[in-house]
Amino acid sequence: MAIGQPANRVDAVAKVTGRARYTDDFYRPDMLIAKYFRSTIAHGRVISIDVSKAKALNGVEAVFTYEDVPKIKYATAGHPYALDRSRADVADTLLLDRQIRYMGDEIAIVVAVDDLTASEALELIEVEYESYSPLISPEQVLSKGAREIHPGQSNVIGEHQFECGDLEQGFSQAEVVHEGQYETHMLQHVHIENHTAFAYMNDLEHIVIISSTQIPHIARRIVGEALDIPWGRVRVVKPYIGGGFGAKQDVILEPILAFLTMQLDGRPVKISMTREECMLCTRNRHPMTATVKIGTLKDGTMVARHMDTLFSTGAYASHGHSIAAASGSKNTLLYPRTAIGYHARTIYNNIPIAGAMRAYGSPQVVFALESAVDDTARKIGIDPVEFRIQNGARQNDLNPLNQKPIQSCGLVECLEKGRELIGWQEKMSQRRQQTGNIRKGLGVACFSYGTGTYPMNVEIAGARIILNQDGSVHVQTGATEIGQGSDTVVAQMVSQTMGLPMENIHIVSTQDTDVTPFDPGAYASRQAYIVGNAVYKAASELREKILTYAAEMTDKSVSDLEIEGRNIVLVDQPGKAIISLIDLALDTYYHTDRGGQLTADVSHKTLANPATFGCTFVDITVDISLCRIRINEIFNVHDSGVILNHSTAKGQVEGGMAMGIGAALSEQVLIDPESGKVNNNNMLDYKVPTMIDLPDIGCAFVETVEPTSAYGNKSLGEPPVISPPPAIRNALLDATGVAINEIPLAPQVLFRHFKQAGLI
Amino acid sequence: MNQNITLTVNGREKTLNIDVRSSLLEVLRDQLGLTSIKQGCGVGECGACTVIIDDDIIDSCIYLAVWADGKSVRTLEGESKNAVLSTVQKGYVDEGAVQCGFCTPGLIMTTTSFVEKNRGKEISHEEIRKAHAGNTCRCTGYQTILTVAGKCLEPGKEPDE
Ligand code: FES
Ligand code: FES
């Protein structure tokens, strides 16, 4: 049946013909264009602002400053509403603000008839600042007497620690202890469609917002919160979107657009960010520093590990401390049979805002952990793959955080498969002492990750399936297609459970909060798992209704009937139609005395969060004098439970690995340490890998069956990005003996370390 | 300042009155509604706006519309004919080379031009990679796109009508 098939994407034809419509494709000639006036200093306060010249410019409809907007602070994070308000996201954002917290902060906004006029008007705004010295590095932020970036609020916005098992005893038992410092820098999502949205009013009350968002239902709530209007007055529509990777899991443009259209008599107003603006003023991946300590016995048994991390969220909290917290929890399952300690802090600084980015902090934490694991393996002289197999999670191990058994786990099998794919043992046995300029290295790294956010947040999903007059069905979910292939696997699920052919399943791709069943949206690799449970319930319900109706029409008993393709058949006589679905459907709609439209409309909460596992194996060549790493071969192997669609799954893994390779080798947002200015917020200077920068990418799956999922699947969207960087770092260590504890491993970084190590 | 230009777009001749400052991207999207053409940067970095002019691919965001006067432009809208996908389009579908789809129009135009120019030649993976290096895709890792381009050049694949 449909699950497990490499079915073509349901949106592929719309996309290859250019007919799929994205936010900017809903062009209206009367649309007004809004542009932010942004700060040119990183830390300070506006003393005065004069917008009169801008207002007077022909074609300018309005200019608003921090003085004109509601004094309501709101949180932008794409999390479900927290019933326990003490756990609500940090509300620290105003629509426009006179306090300046990073270079690019939003002070005023211009609305004009077109883009050019709006840009011209920005030039006419005069502003006077009082400027404070920017707090960029963690040392500056944490120094005694440092100014509060959000006055009245500590610069440490979150801190927590936990311990599983007896850490002290673990370390005292350890025969070998490794301790190291690791660092990752700021990264940018670089989704190809920049943030863009527009808003208008349908009448005098309702605001419609078309937005490139991953989280339409959350966006609606946050607009309501930011403007203090009833949430039901806001309608958010999400068409196709050109990638998000977490950057569109924050509510950035929607509140101000709702405000603007309300101020401008309901006229359509649009903000389309430029690439430079999008890279500077939306969200980034948190820079992180970590101290990792691992204690082992000489035989390779890990007995204790502790991590201390510091995440920089930048100018605003966005997801607050959640990212440091989630990533600390998710890695505990990787080596669960050991005492574990974790301490984390998240701080504000005067740099661009960090938020969710693919794998939510895990790439940073796992880079530190998996580098330290390799360092430890070397110290005790054990093969790093063996060391991981020896200590890695196995099925029925207890989850250290809740003491419940891990119900599906293929980590060891992933490691064994990856080792074989790369030819680890063979290559290692042929390895001679390397001394020349060109050296080869092999590296490995693993990860564990979650599926969704339970129990920190509710995990709710809605699905609605309607039997059409022609015997086909329409399916609506609140789960959002953002490129990952959500719509396609939903169709496969319906096909699997209802017995319908894929051609007879129509997916409504657009989410519209006025009509779409509730679901918070695309994040935490939750959707195929959480929505799967809702779709299963809805599909089973509708199937039951159809069979009951068929029984009534044919005078058979329900249990004797089955849906088979376009027909109803007897269970014991497959292939022989007793009534077609079309005839049945027509009867439900048009029979004068019986029936009615058959639908199933389900909202389902999932109360589990299964762990996923996997690893990267990489074979590299290092050119020492050129300070360059070339990847010869790279493989990811994933345990994501049952693979719903091998084609889209492979696509997710390859894309995630490419992003991981970029993070490992070339990507970094470069921030001037004095002024806080970002120097490379464009696609020329920020090095996203192009086709020529990447090697052939390989992947494989170890399929387990996750019992809490209706279809056996677990998370897959984010995990592929996690383990390539530490694997590459470990391969570099294998090749050169130089342990570089930061990424990216770009030539200038390699040069510094090779020089220090006396290699050049 | 406005000016009239005459160009062929997807096989049809058009005369347009345009602001001389506008890019080809703006004119094709806003005046002709050819919204397959995407803007990812507007300054020639990402390739999302790639179209074919005469026989070459260009970034339409940094190509002035006036330069297209007298030329022939191909966009993704013109690639499928009579409800049949071109070989390259079909390749993108079958290989799963589409995810969010935002880079896809530009990439398909690049692959199309590459395949048309290299039919019958021995082409290495390196050459395919180089030819596509002007189009950034953040979703796929390009592996599937490499496969599509390779398969479209396999002997036996006939050019589209
Ligand atoms: S939009 Fe033209 S190259 Fe990016
Ligand atoms: S498919 Fe999303 S950028 Fe290429």
Closest Cβ opposite residue B93 in set A12, A190, A693: A12
Counting atoms of ligand 2 from 1, which one is nearest the CA of B100? Answer: 2
Q: Within 13 Å and on the Cβ side, how many CA atoms surround A119?
A: 7
Least Cα distance to A67 among A102, A104, A98 occurs for: A98
Q: Which domain holds residue A560?
A: 460-605
A315 in any annotated domain: yes
A557 Cα to chain B: minimum distance (Å): 42
Q: Compute, in degrees rounded to 10, the torsion defined by CA atoms A205, A210, A214, A218.
A: 0
A589 and A655 share a domain?
no
Give the number of domains in chain A.
3
* Model pLDDT for residues A549-590, shown as the tens digit of each residue: 999 999 999 999 999 999 999 999 999 999 999 999 999 999
Q: Round to whole Å and give the CA distance between A292 and A269.
A: 49
User: CB–CB of B35 and A21 under 8 A?
Assistant: yes
Say if A694 is an interface residue toward chain B (CB within 8 Å).
yes
A338 in any annotated domain: yes
User: CB–CB of B101 and A657 under 8 A?
Assistant: no
Give CA A533 to chain center in angstroms. 21
Q: What is the pLDDT of residue A597?
A: 98
* Model pLDDT for residues A580-624, shown as the tens digit of each residue: 999 999 999 999 999 999 999 999 999 999 999 999 999 999 999
Distance A687 CA to ligand 1 centre (A): 16
Task: Answer yes or no: is the C-beta of B130 below 6 A from any ligand 2 atom.
Answer: no
Q: Compute, in degrees rounded to 10, the torsion defined by CA atoms A66, A70, A75, A79.
A: -130
Closest Cβ opposite residue A691 in set B30, B33, B132: B132
A186 in any annotated domain: no
B68 Cα to chain A: minimum distance (Å): 21
| Partner B, chain A 615-634, Cβ-Cβ below 8 Å | none
Burial tier of B89 (Cβ tally within 10 Å: 0-12, 13-18, 19+):
buried
A502 and A579 share a domain?
yes
Q: Within 13 Å and on the Cβ side, how many CA atoms surround A467?
A: 31
A372 and A292 share a domain?
yes
A437 in any annotated domain: yes
User: CB–CB of B136 and A690 under 8 A?
Assistant: yes
Q: What is the pLDDT of residue A130?
A: 98
Which H or E run contains A290?
Answer: strand A288-296
B49 Cα to chain A: minimum distance (Å): 11
Distances (CA, A) of A194 to A23, A247, A747, B38, B62: 10, 10, 29, 11, 18
Contact A338, A303 (CB under 8 A): yes
A468 and A539 share a domain?
yes
Contact A696, A633 (CB under 8 A): yes
Extract the residue ranges of chain B whose pLDDT is less than 70.
Answer: 161
Say if A663 is an interface residue toward chain B (CB within 8 Å).
no
Task: State the fold for domain B2-78.
Answer: Ubiquitin-like (UB roll) (3.10.20)
CATH number for the domain spanning A561: value is: 3.30.365.10
Q: Compute, in degrees rounded to 10, the torsion defined by CA atoms A618, A621, A625, A626.
A: -70
**From B32, which residue of chain A is nearest by alpha-carbon distance?**
A27
Q: How many other CB atoms are found less than 10 A from the CB of residue B156? A: 4
Q: What is the pLDDT of residue B161?
A: 61
Q: Round to whole Å and give the CA distance between B128 and B111.
A: 9
A160 in any annotated domain: no
Q: What is the pLDDT of residue B156?
A: 78
A367 Cα to chain B: minimum distance (Å): 21
User: CB–CB of A691 and B96 under 8 A?
Assistant: no
Q: Compute, in degrees rounded to 10, the torsion defined by CA atoms A21, A22, A25, A31.
A: 140
Counting atoms of ligand 1 from 1, which one is nearest the CA of B25? Answer: 2
Q: Determine if the pTM surpasses 0.90.
A: yes
A348 and A479 share a domain?
no
A118 in any annotated domain: yes
A169 in any annotated domain: no
Structure tokens at A176: 């070998």
- Tokens 């035989």 belong to residue: A299
Q: Round to whole Å and give the CA distance between B26 and B19.
A: 10
Task: Answer yes or no: is the C-beta of B54 below 6 A from any ligand 1 atom.
Answer: no
| Domain ranges across chain B | 2-78, 87-153
| Antiparallel, parallel or unpaired: β A44-50 and A234-238 | unpaired
The answer to whether the peptide bond before residue A216 is cis (omega within 30 degrees of 0) is no
Q: What is the pLDDT of residue A433?
A: 85
CATH 1.10.150.120 fits B87-153, yes or no: yes
| Antiparallel, parallel or unpaired: β A438-449 and A234-238 | unpaired
Q: Round to whole Å and give the CA distance between A323 and A365.
A: 10
Boundary of a domain, candidates A272, A299, A331: A272
Q: Round to whole Å and give the CA distance between A201 and A58.
A: 25
Contacts B76 to A, Cβ<8 Å: 16-18
Q: Round to whole Å and give the CA distance between A97 and A65.
A: 8
Q: How many other CB atoms are found less than 10 A from the CB of residue A205? A: 11
Counting atoms of ligand 1 from 1, which one is nearest the CA of B39? Answer: 1
Residues near B1 by beta carbon (within 8 Å), at least 6 away in sequence: B19, B20, B21
A405 and A313 share a domain?
yes
Say if A16 is an interface residue toward chain B (CB within 8 Å).
yes
Instruction: Tell me which amino acid residue A539 is.
Output: A
Distance A67 CA to ligand 2 centre (A): 40
A350 and A424 share a domain?
yes
Task: Answer yes or no: is the C-beta of B134 below 6 A from any ligand 1 atom.
Answer: no
Distance A138 CA to ligand 1 centre (A): 36
A665 in any annotated domain: yes
Boundary of a domain, candidates A563, A584, A605: A605
A598 and A739 share a domain?
no
Least Cα distance to A485 among B135, B140, B81, B157 occurs for: B140
Q: Within 13 Å and on the Cβ side, how many CA atoms surround B140?
A: 26
Distance A688 CA to ligand 1 centre (A): 15
Distance A673 CA to ligand 1 centre (A): 30
Distance B37 CA to ligand 1 centre (A): 9
User: CB–CB of B45 and A682 under 8 A?
Assistant: yes
A526 and A592 share a domain?
yes
Supply φ then ψ for residue A716, to 5 degrees: -145, -25
Boundary of a domain, candidates A587, A605, A623: A605
A268 and A295 share a domain?
no
A422 and A303 share a domain?
yes
Q: How many other CB atoms are found less than 10 A from the CB of residue A7? A: 22
Q: What is the pLDDT of residue A683?
A: 98
Residues near A577 by beta carbon (within 8 Å), at least 6 away in sequence: A564, A567, A568, A569
Structure tokens at B94: 């079958």
Least Cα distance to A301 among A392, A425, A410, A404 occurs for: A392
**From A19, which residue of chain B is nearest by alpha-carbon distance?**
B36
Bridge partners for A683 per DSSP: none
A439 and A385 share a domain?
yes
Supply φ then ψ for residue A711, to 5 degrees: -115, 10
Extract the residue ranges of chain A whose pLDDT is less than 70.
Answer: 1
Say if A657 is an interface residue toward chain B (CB within 8 Å).
yes
ipTM of the assembly?
Answer: 0.98
CATH number for the domain spanning A42: value is: 3.90.1170.50
Q: What is the pLDDT of residue B157?
A: 78
Instruction: Tell me which amino acid residue A694 is.
Output: L
Contacts A484 to B, Cβ<8 Å: 99
